Structure 1
Amino acid sequence: MNTITLRELRLSDKAAFSAASNELWESHFIFAHYFESIAHNSFEKYVEVLPLFSKGKLIPSEHVPSTILFAFNSHGKIVGRVSIRHTLSEALMIIGGHVGYGVVPSERRKGYATQILSESILYIKLHFPQLDRILVTCDESNIASAKTIEKNGGVLENITEDHKKRYWIDL
Protein backbone atom coordinates (compact mmCIF):
# COMPACT_ATOMS: atom_id res chain seq x y z
CA MET A 1 0.00 0.00 0.00
CA ASN A 2 1.21 3.51 -0.76
CA THR A 3 1.79 5.76 2.19
CA ILE A 4 0.45 9.28 2.11
CA THR A 5 1.64 12.73 3.01
CA LEU A 6 -0.86 15.34 4.17
CA ARG A 7 0.13 18.86 3.20
CA GLU A 8 -1.00 22.18 1.80
CA LEU A 9 -1.07 22.65 -1.94
CA ARG A 10 1.89 24.11 -3.82
CA LEU A 11 1.85 25.81 -7.20
CA SER A 12 3.60 22.73 -8.61
CA ASP A 13 0.55 20.61 -7.69
CA LYS A 14 -1.71 22.12 -10.34
CA ALA A 15 -1.91 19.04 -12.58
CA ALA A 16 -2.49 16.69 -9.63
CA PHE A 17 -5.19 19.00 -8.26
CA SER A 18 -6.89 19.23 -11.65
CA ALA A 19 -6.89 15.44 -12.05
CA ALA A 20 -8.40 14.91 -8.58
CA SER A 21 -10.98 17.68 -9.05
CA ASN A 22 -12.11 16.27 -12.38
CA GLU A 23 -12.96 12.83 -10.98
CA LEU A 24 -16.62 11.83 -10.71
CA TRP A 25 -17.39 12.96 -7.17
CA GLU A 26 -20.77 12.48 -5.54
CA SER A 27 -22.96 15.52 -6.16
CA HIS A 28 -23.20 16.37 -2.45
CA PHE A 29 -19.44 16.18 -1.80
CA ILE A 30 -17.22 19.25 -2.08
CA PHE A 31 -13.67 18.21 -2.90
CA ALA A 32 -12.05 21.66 -2.73
CA HIS A 33 -13.81 23.88 -0.22
CA TYR A 34 -13.98 27.52 -1.36
CA PHE A 35 -12.25 26.84 -4.69
CA GLU A 36 -15.17 28.24 -6.66
CA SER A 37 -16.57 30.77 -4.19
CA ILE A 38 -13.38 32.39 -2.90
CA ALA A 39 -10.63 31.46 -5.37
CA HIS A 40 -12.99 31.84 -8.36
CA ASN A 41 -11.68 28.58 -9.90
CA SER A 42 -8.12 29.89 -10.00
CA PHE A 43 -5.63 27.31 -8.75
CA GLU A 44 -2.97 29.97 -8.16
CA LYS A 45 -5.40 32.03 -6.07
CA TYR A 46 -6.49 28.90 -4.17
CA VAL A 47 -2.90 28.09 -3.19
CA GLU A 48 -2.53 31.69 -2.02
CA VAL A 49 -5.70 31.82 0.10
CA LEU A 50 -5.80 28.28 1.56
CA PRO A 51 -3.59 29.18 4.55
CA LEU A 52 -5.91 32.09 5.39
CA PHE A 53 -8.88 29.77 6.01
CA SER A 54 -7.13 28.32 9.06
CA LYS A 55 -6.96 31.86 10.46
CA GLY A 56 -10.68 32.32 9.86
CA LYS A 57 -10.04 34.85 7.10
CA LEU A 58 -12.09 35.09 3.89
CA ILE A 59 -14.50 32.33 4.94
CA PRO A 60 -18.24 32.91 5.39
CA SER A 61 -19.15 34.17 8.87
CA GLU A 62 -21.10 31.00 9.70
CA HIS A 63 -18.04 28.82 9.01
CA VAL A 64 -15.23 28.01 11.43
CA PRO A 65 -11.48 28.24 10.83
CA SER A 66 -10.32 25.11 9.02
CA THR A 67 -7.03 23.70 7.83
CA ILE A 68 -7.45 22.09 4.43
CA LEU A 69 -4.78 19.57 3.53
CA PHE A 70 -4.40 17.26 0.56
CA ALA A 71 -3.27 13.64 0.69
CA PHE A 72 -0.51 12.77 -1.77
CA ASN A 73 0.68 9.24 -2.48
CA SER A 74 4.36 8.43 -3.03
CA HIS A 75 3.96 9.18 -6.77
CA GLY A 76 2.75 12.75 -6.16
CA LYS A 77 -0.88 11.97 -7.00
CA ILE A 78 -3.61 13.54 -4.88
CA VAL A 79 -5.60 10.66 -3.42
CA GLY A 80 -7.80 12.67 -1.06
CA ARG A 81 -8.20 15.70 1.12
CA VAL A 82 -9.11 16.58 4.67
CA SER A 83 -10.70 19.58 6.34
CA ILE A 84 -9.64 19.93 9.95
CA ARG A 85 -12.01 22.26 11.77
CA HIS A 86 -10.45 24.05 14.70
CA THR A 87 -13.72 24.47 16.60
CA LEU A 88 -17.27 23.22 16.25
CA SER A 89 -20.36 25.23 15.45
CA GLU A 90 -23.81 23.94 16.38
CA ALA A 91 -24.21 22.56 12.85
CA LEU A 92 -20.82 20.82 12.92
CA MET A 93 -21.75 19.19 16.22
CA ILE A 94 -24.42 17.28 14.28
CA ILE A 95 -22.96 16.93 10.79
CA GLY A 96 -19.30 17.32 9.98
CA GLY A 97 -17.39 17.30 13.23
CA HIS A 98 -13.73 18.28 13.51
CA VAL A 99 -12.54 16.20 10.56
CA GLY A 100 -14.08 15.85 7.12
CA TYR A 101 -12.21 13.79 4.58
CA GLY A 102 -12.70 12.36 1.13
CA VAL A 103 -10.83 9.92 -1.06
CA VAL A 104 -10.57 10.46 -4.82
CA PRO A 105 -13.11 8.05 -6.39
CA SER A 106 -10.53 6.14 -8.45
CA GLU A 107 -8.37 5.63 -5.33
CA ARG A 108 -11.01 4.18 -3.01
CA ARG A 109 -10.71 0.78 -1.33
CA LYS A 110 -6.95 1.10 -1.06
CA GLY A 111 -6.73 2.09 2.62
CA TYR A 112 -6.26 5.80 1.99
CA ALA A 113 -9.22 6.92 4.12
CA THR A 114 -7.81 5.16 7.18
CA GLN A 115 -4.42 6.78 6.57
CA ILE A 116 -5.92 10.22 5.98
CA LEU A 117 -7.86 10.10 9.23
CA SER A 118 -4.86 8.69 11.12
CA GLU A 119 -2.55 11.43 9.80
CA SER A 120 -5.23 14.02 10.58
CA ILE A 121 -5.35 12.85 14.20
CA LEU A 122 -1.56 13.22 14.44
CA TYR A 123 -1.82 16.70 12.91
CA ILE A 124 -4.47 17.71 15.43
CA LYS A 125 -2.43 16.39 18.36
CA LEU A 126 0.54 18.46 17.19
CA HIS A 127 -1.24 21.69 16.23
CA PHE A 128 -4.27 21.73 18.56
CA PRO A 129 -3.08 20.39 21.94
CA GLN A 130 -6.08 22.00 23.63
CA LEU A 131 -8.34 19.37 22.05
CA ASP A 132 -8.63 16.18 24.09
CA ARG A 133 -11.11 14.53 21.75
CA ILE A 134 -12.50 15.10 18.27
CA LEU A 135 -15.84 14.47 16.61
CA VAL A 136 -16.01 12.66 13.26
CA THR A 137 -19.32 11.93 11.54
CA CYS A 138 -20.52 9.88 8.60
CA ASP A 139 -23.75 8.84 6.97
CA GLU A 140 -25.36 5.86 8.68
CA SER A 141 -25.32 4.01 5.35
CA ASN A 142 -21.60 4.64 4.75
CA ILE A 143 -20.18 1.40 6.13
CA ALA A 144 -16.67 2.10 4.79
CA SER A 145 -16.47 5.45 6.60
CA ALA A 146 -17.80 3.94 9.82
CA LYS A 147 -15.09 1.26 9.67
CA THR A 148 -12.43 3.89 8.96
CA ILE A 149 -13.49 5.94 11.97
CA GLU A 150 -13.65 2.86 14.21
CA LYS A 151 -10.17 1.73 13.06
CA ASN A 152 -8.91 5.11 14.23
CA GLY A 153 -10.42 4.75 17.70
CA GLY A 154 -13.84 6.25 17.05
CA VAL A 155 -16.51 5.43 19.63
CA LEU A 156 -20.09 5.81 18.44
CA GLU A 157 -22.04 8.27 20.56
CA ASN A 158 -25.30 8.21 18.65
CA ILE A 159 -27.09 8.29 15.32
CA THR A 160 -29.00 11.48 14.58
CA GLU A 161 -32.51 11.79 13.20
CA ASP A 162 -30.83 12.71 9.89
CA HIS A 163 -29.08 9.30 9.89
CA LYS A 164 -25.61 10.63 10.75
CA LYS A 165 -23.34 8.54 12.94
CA ARG A 166 -21.44 10.65 15.48
CA TYR A 167 -18.13 9.26 16.72
CA TRP A 168 -15.70 10.66 19.28
CA ILE A 169 -12.00 9.90 19.15
CA ASP A 170 -9.98 10.47 22.31
CA LEU A 171 -6.63 12.12 21.72
Structure 2
Amino acid sequence: MTRILVVDNHGQFTHLEHRTLRDLEGVETGLVDNDTPPEEIDADGLVLSGGPSMDETGNSADYLDLDVPILGICLGMQLMAEELGGEVSGGEYGGYADVDVRILDEDDPIVGSLAPETRVWASHADEVTALPEGFERTAESDVCGIEAMSDTDRDRYGVQWHPEVAHTEEGKAVFENFRRVCE
Protein backbone atom coordinates (compact mmCIF):
# COMPACT_ATOMS: atom_id res chain seq x y z
CA MET A 1 0.00 0.00 0.00
CA THR A 2 1.18 3.48 -0.84
CA ARG A 3 0.58 5.92 2.03
CA ILE A 4 -0.29 9.46 0.88
CA LEU A 5 -1.30 12.04 3.47
CA VAL A 6 -3.28 15.20 2.76
CA VAL A 7 -2.07 18.23 4.71
CA ASP A 8 -5.10 20.29 5.73
CA ASN A 9 -4.50 23.97 4.96
CA HIS A 10 -8.17 24.62 5.78
CA GLY A 11 -9.41 24.81 2.21
CA GLN A 12 -13.01 24.19 1.32
CA PHE A 13 -12.16 21.15 -0.85
CA THR A 14 -9.57 19.43 1.38
CA HIS A 15 -11.99 16.67 2.37
CA LEU A 16 -12.55 15.93 -1.34
CA GLU A 17 -8.80 15.52 -1.91
CA HIS A 18 -8.72 13.01 0.94
CA ARG A 19 -11.78 11.19 -0.39
CA THR A 20 -10.40 10.99 -3.94
CA LEU A 21 -7.18 9.44 -2.65
CA ARG A 22 -9.10 7.07 -0.38
CA ASP A 23 -11.05 5.81 -3.39
CA LEU A 24 -7.89 4.96 -5.38
CA GLU A 25 -6.83 1.33 -5.39
CA GLY A 26 -3.58 0.70 -3.55
CA VAL A 27 -3.63 3.93 -1.53
CA GLU A 28 -3.79 4.28 2.23
CA THR A 29 -4.52 7.87 3.13
CA GLY A 30 -5.09 10.18 6.03
CA LEU A 31 -5.81 13.82 6.69
CA VAL A 32 -3.32 15.67 8.93
CA ASP A 33 -3.55 19.19 10.25
CA ASN A 34 -0.85 21.56 9.02
CA ASP A 35 0.43 22.08 12.57
CA THR A 36 1.64 18.45 12.72
CA PRO A 37 5.41 18.44 13.42
CA PRO A 38 7.38 17.30 10.33
CA GLU A 39 9.03 14.49 12.28
CA GLU A 40 5.57 12.97 12.88
CA ILE A 41 4.80 12.71 9.17
CA ASP A 42 5.01 9.08 8.05
CA ALA A 43 4.08 8.85 4.39
CA ASP A 44 5.22 7.87 0.91
CA GLY A 45 3.87 11.18 -0.41
CA LEU A 46 2.12 14.39 0.66
CA VAL A 47 -0.61 16.54 -0.85
CA LEU A 48 -0.49 20.16 0.31
CA SER A 49 -4.13 21.19 0.11
CA GLY A 50 -5.56 24.48 -0.94
CA GLY A 51 -6.64 27.01 1.62
CA PRO A 52 -7.74 30.56 2.24
CA SER A 53 -4.46 32.21 3.17
CA MET A 54 -0.66 31.85 3.18
CA ASP A 55 -0.88 32.98 6.82
CA GLU A 56 -2.74 29.77 7.72
CA THR A 57 -0.36 27.13 6.31
CA GLY A 58 1.16 26.05 9.63
CA ASN A 59 4.20 23.79 9.13
CA SER A 60 3.55 23.22 5.42
CA ALA A 61 6.77 25.00 4.41
CA ASP A 62 8.77 22.65 6.67
CA TYR A 63 7.26 19.61 4.94
CA LEU A 64 9.06 20.64 1.73
CA ASP A 65 12.29 19.39 3.36
CA LEU A 66 10.90 15.86 3.77
CA ASP A 67 12.25 13.19 1.44
CA VAL A 68 8.89 12.25 -0.13
CA PRO A 69 7.09 13.39 -3.31
CA ILE A 70 4.83 16.40 -2.76
CA LEU A 71 1.86 17.63 -4.79
CA GLY A 72 0.68 21.17 -4.09
CA ILE A 73 -2.88 22.07 -5.04
CA CYS A 74 -3.79 25.76 -5.51
CA LEU A 75 -2.49 27.39 -2.29
CA GLY A 76 -0.26 24.33 -1.81
CA MET A 77 1.38 25.04 -5.18
CA GLN A 78 1.73 28.73 -4.36
CA LEU A 79 3.32 27.97 -0.98
CA MET A 80 5.77 25.58 -2.64
CA ALA A 81 6.70 28.17 -5.27
CA GLU A 82 7.19 30.98 -2.77
CA GLU A 83 9.17 28.90 -0.26
CA LEU A 84 11.48 27.52 -2.95
CA GLY A 85 12.32 30.90 -4.50
CA GLY A 86 9.52 31.55 -7.00
CA GLU A 87 7.00 34.37 -6.94
CA VAL A 88 3.27 34.52 -6.23
CA SER A 89 0.98 37.46 -6.82
CA GLY A 90 -2.66 38.29 -7.36
CA GLY A 91 -4.14 36.94 -10.56
CA GLU A 92 -5.87 39.19 -13.06
CA TYR A 93 -8.81 36.81 -13.49
CA GLY A 94 -9.81 36.45 -9.86
CA GLY A 95 -12.23 33.83 -8.55
CA TYR A 96 -13.31 30.32 -9.50
CA ALA A 97 -14.05 29.41 -13.11
CA ASP A 98 -13.91 26.61 -15.66
CA VAL A 99 -10.63 26.96 -17.53
CA ASP A 100 -9.18 25.18 -20.56
CA VAL A 101 -5.60 24.22 -19.66
CA ARG A 102 -2.96 23.38 -22.27
CA ILE A 103 -0.46 20.72 -21.23
CA LEU A 104 3.06 21.75 -22.25
CA ASP A 105 4.95 18.54 -21.44
CA GLU A 106 3.26 15.27 -22.32
CA ASP A 107 6.06 13.38 -20.54
CA ASP A 108 5.39 15.10 -17.21
CA PRO A 109 4.57 12.43 -14.60
CA ILE A 110 1.66 14.39 -13.08
CA VAL A 111 -0.13 16.23 -15.91
CA GLY A 112 1.41 14.73 -19.07
CA SER A 113 -1.35 12.14 -19.46
CA LEU A 114 -3.90 14.97 -19.75
CA ALA A 115 -2.32 16.30 -22.99
CA PRO A 116 -3.01 18.11 -25.16
CA GLU A 117 -5.56 19.97 -23.03
CA THR A 118 -8.08 19.51 -20.29
CA ARG A 119 -10.90 21.45 -18.64
CA VAL A 120 -10.42 22.30 -14.97
CA TRP A 121 -12.00 24.21 -12.09
CA ALA A 122 -9.57 26.76 -10.71
CA SER A 123 -9.29 29.88 -8.63
CA HIS A 124 -6.93 32.56 -9.86
CA ALA A 125 -7.20 35.04 -6.99
CA ASP A 126 -3.48 34.32 -6.46
CA GLU A 127 -1.13 32.44 -8.77
CA VAL A 128 2.50 31.55 -9.33
CA THR A 129 4.07 34.22 -11.51
CA ALA A 130 7.72 33.07 -11.48
CA LEU A 131 8.94 29.49 -11.12
CA PRO A 132 11.42 28.44 -8.45
CA GLU A 133 14.80 27.24 -9.67
CA GLY A 134 14.65 23.66 -10.93
CA PHE A 135 10.95 23.78 -11.86
CA GLU A 136 9.43 23.56 -15.33
CA ARG A 137 6.13 25.06 -16.39
CA THR A 138 4.00 22.09 -17.44
CA ALA A 139 0.62 23.71 -18.16
CA GLU A 140 -0.82 27.11 -19.06
CA SER A 141 -4.13 28.73 -19.88
CA ASP A 142 -5.43 31.97 -21.32
CA VAL A 143 -5.94 33.31 -17.79
CA CYS A 144 -2.78 31.99 -16.08
CA GLY A 145 0.73 31.51 -17.44
CA ILE A 146 1.66 28.83 -14.89
CA GLU A 147 -1.23 26.41 -14.36
CA ALA A 148 1.10 23.56 -13.34
CA MET A 149 4.76 23.10 -12.47
CA SER A 150 7.14 20.21 -11.83
CA ASP A 151 10.59 19.57 -10.44
CA THR A 152 11.02 15.88 -11.24
CA ASP A 153 14.52 15.76 -9.69
CA ARG A 154 13.08 16.63 -6.26
CA ASP A 155 9.60 15.14 -6.85
CA ARG A 156 7.85 18.46 -6.24
CA TYR A 157 4.72 19.17 -8.27
CA GLY A 158 1.96 21.75 -8.30
CA VAL A 159 -1.35 22.45 -10.02
CA GLN A 160 -3.25 25.72 -9.80
CA TRP A 161 -6.54 23.93 -10.31
CA HIS A 162 -8.57 21.62 -8.09
CA PRO A 163 -8.35 18.05 -9.42
CA GLU A 164 -10.61 16.79 -6.62
CA VAL A 165 -13.80 18.56 -7.73
CA ALA A 166 -16.35 17.21 -10.21
CA HIS A 167 -15.94 20.22 -12.53
CA THR A 168 -12.38 19.13 -13.34
CA GLU A 169 -12.66 16.64 -16.21
CA GLU A 170 -9.62 14.44 -15.53
CA GLY A 171 -8.92 15.21 -11.90
CA LYS A 172 -8.75 11.60 -10.76
CA ALA A 173 -5.92 11.03 -13.27
CA VAL A 174 -3.81 13.67 -11.49
CA PHE A 175 -4.11 11.73 -8.23
CA GLU A 176 -3.47 8.40 -9.96
CA ASN A 177 -0.35 9.86 -11.57
CA PHE A 178 0.83 11.17 -8.21
CA ARG A 179 0.24 7.75 -6.66
CA ARG A 180 2.55 6.23 -9.29
CA VAL A 181 5.26 8.77 -8.43
CA CYS A 182 4.93 7.85 -4.73
CA GLU A 183 5.06 4.06 -5.20
Q: Which structure exhibits the higher relative contact order, with contacts defined as CA atoms closer than 8 Å and separated by 6 or more residues? A: 2
Q: TM-score scaled to structure 2, two decimals?
A: 0.30
Question: Whose strand fraction is larger, Structure 1's or Structure 2's?
Answer: 2
Q: TM-score scaled to structure 1, two decimals?
A: 0.31
Structure label with greater radius of gyration: 1
Question: Whose helix fraction is larger, Structure 1's or Structure 2's?
Answer: 1
